[in-house]
């Protein structure tokens, strides 16, 4: 059975802190690893990682995949209150199937 595990489950930080969110996966026919941000509504896409060791960046967010360790991290630097959300990790397998983790709930205090 495909499985994605995220840690920590929740996190409270202060504005300006740097956070690292973790994701590990056990998926048959793995294709790629995706990160989403979910606020009040539908998840919004952040990154898709296919190649190991190549960092993807978007502003203060960055992510990297380690295929050897079957894991990925999402870094957020200089956090802002607008970063408060649930961050979801998902592993894509053949047939375009996505298996999601339970998410990390991040709260950024002013």
Binding site for another protein (CB under 8 A): 4, 32, 34, 41-45, 48, 50, 88, 90, 92, 95-103
Contact 50, 37 (CB under 8 A): no
For residue 48, the minimal CB distance to another protein (Å) is 5
| Smallest separation, CB 64 to another protein (Å) | 17
CA distances from 99 to 8, 10, 12, 17, 58 (A): 18, 20, 26, 30, 23
Give me the least distance between CB of 103 and another protein, in Å please: 5
């Amino acid at each position: 059975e495909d499985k994605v595990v995220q840690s920590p489950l929740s996190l409270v930080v202060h504005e300006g802190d740097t956070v690292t969110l973790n994701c590990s996966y056990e998926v048959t026919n793995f294709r790629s690893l995706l990160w989403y941000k979910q606020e009040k509504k539908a998840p919004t896409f952040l990154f898709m990682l296919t190649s190991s060791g190549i960092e993807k960046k978007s502003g203060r967010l960055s992510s990297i995949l380690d295929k050897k360790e079957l894991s990925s991290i999402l870094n957020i630097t200089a956090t802002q209150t607008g970063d408060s959300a649930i961050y979801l990790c998902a592993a894509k397998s053949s047939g375009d199937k996505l298996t999601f983790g339970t998410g990390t709930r991040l709260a950024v205090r002013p």
